[in-house]
Amino acid sequence: MMADVPARNGAEGSSGVSRPATWPNRLTVLSGPSGVGKSTVVAEIRRSHPEVWLSVSATTRAPRPGERDGREYHFVDDTEFDRLIEAGELLEWAEFAGNRYGTPKTPVEQRLAAGHPVLLEIDLQGARQVRAAMPGALLVFLSPPNWEELVRRLVGRGTEPPEVRERRLEAARVELAAEPEFDVTLTNTSVNDVVNELLSLMVTPTPH
Ligand code: 5GP
pLDDT tens-digit map of 124-158: 999 999 999 998 899 999 999 999 999 888 887 67
Compute, in angstroms, the gap from residue 59 CA to the centroid of ligand 1.
Answer: 8
Does any ligand 1 atom lie closer than 6 A to the CB of residue 200?
no
Write out pLDDT tens, residues 56-101.
999 999 999 999 999 999 999 999 999 999 999 999 999 988 999 9
Q: Regarding beta strands 118-121 and 27-31, do their DSSP bridges make them parallel or antiparallel, or are they unpaired?
A: parallel
Does any ligand 1 atom lie closer than 6 A to the CB of residue 40?
no
CB distance 197 to 185 below 8 Å: no
Does any ligand 1 atom lie closer than 6 A to the CB of residue 146?
no
Burial class (CB in 10 A: 0-12, 13-18, 19+), 182: buried
Domain count, the chain: 1
Q: Is residue 9 assigned to a domain?
A: no
In this prediction the pTM is 0.86
Q: Residue 118 sits in which domain range?
A: 27-203
User: Which helix H or strand E contains 55, and what residues bound it?
Assistant: none
Q: What is the average pLDDT across 24-41?
A: 89
Q: Is residue 73 assigned to a domain?
A: yes
Pocket probe mutation, ligand 1, options 39, 68, 74, 101, max atoms within 8 Å of Cβ: 101
Q: Is residue 150 assigned to a domain?
A: yes
Compute, in angstroms, the gap from residue 157 CA to the centroid of ligand 1.
Answer: 23
Q: Is residue 3 assigned to a domain?
A: no
User: Which helix H or strand E contains 185, and what residues bound it?
Assistant: strand 184-187
Which residue minimizes the CA distance to atom 19 of ligand 1?
Answer: 102
The CATH number given to whatever domain includes residue 112 is 3.40.50.300
CA 158, chain centre distance (Å): 26
pLDDT at site 157: 66
Q: Is residue 172 assigned to a domain?
A: yes
Does any ligand 1 atom lie closer than 6 A to the CB of residue 34?
yes
Q: Is residue 49 assigned to a domain?
A: yes
Q: Is residue 169 assigned to a domain?
A: yes
Does any ligand 1 atom lie closer than 6 A to the CB of residue 33?
no
Pocket probe mutation, ligand 1, options 84, 103, 122, 125, max atoms within 8 Å of Cβ: 122
pLDDT at site 3: 40
Does any ligand 1 atom lie closer than 6 A to the CB of residue 100?
no
Which residue minimizes the CA distance to atom 21 of ligand 1?
Answer: 122
Q: Is residue 75 assigned to a domain?
A: yes
d(CA 199, CA 27): 12
Q: At what angle do helices 162-176 and 147-155 cross, to 10 degrees?
A: 140
